[in-house]
């Protein structure tokens, strides 16, 4: 008997494995038979291929997305006493990474339509301690990078992109990850480009920053066993790199499939009581998640669950209201849109292998509830 009563899952990493099983199995056996399992040919090849995909010269594989963010900030010189402008409507990893380098997160509110950082809030949140802006490209849609980069240039700030959910997303023809000083990607299994375990990547156009990341990910080594600076242990392993190389070859078609499924949702749910994802003519959405909103979100979630339809909430509690952070991180600005979103957003089932018929079933069930 299945332990999961849901007939339609919100995400399904196993389906991604099955879709490319023979290629993935071949890649795994290639690594097993190579005798080299850490920082070898697979990692190097994947770094080159991923850098080319993003459109930057440098990509450095690390252990996970949180490490990628931490390393990205460390090589930008962000540390104790510094402030980083970011959002509270994000995965907690965004904020955890800021604190891991010793800096203080300063929250700005999000736009109501996109759920992304509102650039109009940034300048009011600045202080002499502000060192960087860290936008999170949530749900697969690029933040307003044009405006963010303009503000950063004006005030001499670094821009560190959190691209954990935006593999392949574009703004004005440029992929997320190629805009800021440095960017961080996650390859958690549910991501558009997901490993069968943990993994992350730091990308940049800056050769000096890239070399610093390469040293810091492995104890600060330039020569083995000799640390030129204090570092850490965060290495993408050969097995995950080999699997990700397979999946990268299919990412374009997988993202296109996500887009087609999102179009079905948008078509069937048009005119419903739900707030649907907003579109932007200058950007290409990667559709990591299909997120709707409703003031009675929890009732809708329960209704769908009773009918075997899985959903998710990304995210149910803003970081600034979570027990670990509440009353400890100072709020410089009110965050009404952030708090409203957390109470209303709901992620519907969406992954490339999901049948169109299942998307239609989910949409019809929502209309039945509404």
Whether 279 has a pLDDT exceeding 90, the answer reads no
Tell me what the mean pLDDT of segment 32-47 comes to. Answer: 97
- Average pLDDT, rounded, for the chain: 97
Predicted confidence band of residue 274 (pLDDT cuts 50, 70, 90): very high
CATH number of 250-369: 3.90.1150.10
Percent of the chain exceeding pLDDT 90 equals: 96
The pLDDT confidence band at residue 3, using thresholds 50, 70 and 90, is very low
- What pLDDT was estimated at residue 5? 79
Closest CA to 129 of 99, 106, 160: 106
Q: What is the arithmetic mean of pLDDT over 24-45?
A: 97
Average pLDDT over residues 45-63: 98
What is the percent of the chain where pLDDT is above 70?
Answer: 99
> Does residue 39 register a pLDDT over 80?
yes
**Contact assessment for residue 362 and residue 304, using Cβ atoms and an 8 Å cutoff:** yes
Q: How confident is the model at residue 287 (pLDDT cuts 50, 70, 90)?
A: very high
CA 163/CA 97 separation, integer angstroms? 14
Domains of the chain, by residue range, sit at: 13-245, 250-369
Token match 């949702």: residue?
265
| Model confidence band, residue 1 (pLDDT cutoffs 50, 70, 90) | very low
Can you give the pLDDT at residue 26? Answer: 98
| CA 319-301-325 angle, 5° bins | 10
In CATH, 13-245 is 3.40.50.10420: no
**Residue keyed to tokens 């290495």:** 235
């Amino acid at each position: 008997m299945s332990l999961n009563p849901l007939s339609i899952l919100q995400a399904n990493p196993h389906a991604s494995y099955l879709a490319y099983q023979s290629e993935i199995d071949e890649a795994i056996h290639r690594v097993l038979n190579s005798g080299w399992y850490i920082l070898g040919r697979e990692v190097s090849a994947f770094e080159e291929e991923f850098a080319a995909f993003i459109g930057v010269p440098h990509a450095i594989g690390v252990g996970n997305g949180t490490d990628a963010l931490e390393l990205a900030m460390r090589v930008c010189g962000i540390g104790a006493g510094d402030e980083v402008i970011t959002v509270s409507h994000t995965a907690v990893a965004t904020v955890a990474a800021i604190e891991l380098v010793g800096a203080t997160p300063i929250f700005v509110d999000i736009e109501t339509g996109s759920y992304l950082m509102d650039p109009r809030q940034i300048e009011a949140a600045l202080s002499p301690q502000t060192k960087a802006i860290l936008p999170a490209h949530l749900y697969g849609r690029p933040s307003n990078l044009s405006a963010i980069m303009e503000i950063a240039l004006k005030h001499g700030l670094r821009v560190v992109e959190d691209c954990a959910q935006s593999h392949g997303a574009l703004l004005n023809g440029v992929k997320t990850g190629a805009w800021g000083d440095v960017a961080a990607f996650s390859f958690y299994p549910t991501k558009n480009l997901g490993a069968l375990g943990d993994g992350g990547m730091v990308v940049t156009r800056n050769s000096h920053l890239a070399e610093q990341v390469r040293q810091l990910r492995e104890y600060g080594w330039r020569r083995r066993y000799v640390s030129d600076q204090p570092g850490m242990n965060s290495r993408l392993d050969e097995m995950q790199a080999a699997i990700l190389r397979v999946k990268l070859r299919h990412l374009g078609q997988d993202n296109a499939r996500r887009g087609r499924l999102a179009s079905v949702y948008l078509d069937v749910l048009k005119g419903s009581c739900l707030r649907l994802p907003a579109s932007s003519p200058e950007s290409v959405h990667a559709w990591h998640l299909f997120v709707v909103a409703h003031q009675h979100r929890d009732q809708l979630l329960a209704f769908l669950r009773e009918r075997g339809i899985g959903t998710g909430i990304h995210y149910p509690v803003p970081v600034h209201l979570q027990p670990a952070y509440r009353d400890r991180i100072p709020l410089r600005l009110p965050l009404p849109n952030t708090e409203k979103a957390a109470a209303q957003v709901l992620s519907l089932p969406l992954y490339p292998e999901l049948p169109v018929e299942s998307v239609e079933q989910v949409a019809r069930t929502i209309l039945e509830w509404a």
